[in-house]
Amino acid sequence: MKRILFFSESLNGGGAEAALVRIVELLADKYDITVVSQTDGEKHTDYIKSLCTHKPFTKKADSGFLNNLIIKGFITLPPAVVCSTYLHGEYDIEVACCEGFSTKIIGASKRNSVKVAYIHTDFVNNPWSAGVYKGDEQEEKECYSKFDKIICVSETIRNAFVQKYGLAEKTEVIYNLIDDRKIKKMSLESATLKVNKRPAFVLVGNYLKVKGYDRLMNVAHRLKNEGYDFSFTIMGRPEEKHKIQKLCDDFELNDYVNLMGFEENPYKYMKQADCYVCSSYAEGYSTAVCEAVICGLPVITTDCSGMREIFGQSEIGLICENSEDGLYGAIKSVLDNPELLHKYKQNAPLRAEDLSYVSRARAVEDFYKTL
């Protein structure tokens, strides 16, 4: 049985982490799998432990001082030292689950293994991993050149990576697995979406600048002043939630905007909404938008990486210019023409079939068989 090491900085609630969980689920009975992450006790940790071996750099039982020291070392030590210190064992395949530190560390491995890197971001429009290499593009390119396979989670992600770094012969597109069966089941759980006005728009994603919630508040302010009825509900981890709350207060939007925290089951709320909105400045291949379509929701989204692939040829919503005015125009169009949401909602279930787990699992299995 081949041995696979998956290295992910985090096992928390992001899309890349969810994608890793689905891959481990699929492959757990076919390979000897070890998942290494930076810390213990995160959202997916216990479930990963039930599927395979899990090795965190730091443990909940360790002191805060020791944990901080280990994490600081992870960031500042040479990648080869981190790799030899924390990534013990012999493996046939080593996988960096995301761009950034994961790729930098696995790229430094001296083991005689097949090395795979996953890319979830647009290297042209959102090259966040550049900070890991202190802006040294040549160093980042050299790191990727050490990998045998570079997996991009959408065609637009692949095109951006090849545009920046070349290495086209190493790249391949494999879409993230999405457990549509689980999503549909969880969407049926009892819940009440608290909204004062309809139509109800819903968003799921951490309160980070890249998600564009700031410009969404500007859009809400404009629409409120024009006399429209609507509501926005946002669910996500609260990193910069206070900034969005301040905008709500300043614009007197609290009757129009409901800022929730992280929800283990956002689907039961999504199911009750009228439309999903993605206001992001950049995405890789949005798991949340796919989940919204699976829940039967129309989608309004900015033109980010992967969105046209998610929509396909289906009329399930609107892809607008990636700007505040683009968002404003798209949302205003469905407020002025509510029959559009009805049409898009009818089309969503058909598109959901193409995003299903079954339709994508074979590609993942076939890929790992070739390594």
| Residue 73: predicted pLDDT | 64
Exposure on the CB side of residue 133, measured as CA atoms within 13 A? 21
**pLDDT tens-digit series, residues 184-243:** 999 999 999 989 899 999 999 999 999 999 999 999 999 999 999 999 999 998 889 999
- Model pLDDT, residue 2: 96
Q: Give 3-177+358-369's CATH code, choosing from 3.10.180.10, 3.40.50.2000, 1.10.3720.10, 2.60.40.420.
A: 3.40.50.2000
Instruction: Judge residue 9's burial from the number of C-beta atoms within 10 Å of its C-beta, 0-12 exposed, 13-18 middle, 19 or more buried.
Output: buried
Angstrom distance (rounded) from CA 144 to CA 170: 9
pLDDT of 53: 96
Distance CA 72, CA 185 (A): 41
How many CB atoms sit inside 10 A of residue 245's CB?
Answer: 17
Query: What confidence score (pLDDT) does residue 64 get?
Result: 63
- Map out the domains of the chain as residue ranges: 3-177+358-369, 181-354
Quote the pLDDT of residue 87: 85
Residues 6 or more apart whose CB falls under 8 angstroms from that of 184 comprise 267, 294, 295
User: What is residue 78's predicted lDDT score, i.e. its pLDDT?
Assistant: 86
**Do 181-354 and 3-177+358-369 have the same topology in CATH?**
yes
Q: Look at residue 165 in the predicted model and tell me its pLDDT.
A: 95
* Count of other CB atoms within 10 angstroms of residue 323: 14
d(CA 162, CA 174) in angstroms, rounded, equals: 15
Q: Residue 286's CB: how many other CB atoms inside 10 A?
A: 25
pLDDT of amino acid 72: 67
Determine the pLDDT at residue 135.
Answer: 83
Which of the residues in the chain have pLDDT under 50? none
Supply the pTM of this predicted model: 0.82
- CATH fit for domain 181-354, picks 3.90.230.10, 3.40.50.620, 3.40.50.2000, 3.60.9.10: 3.40.50.2000
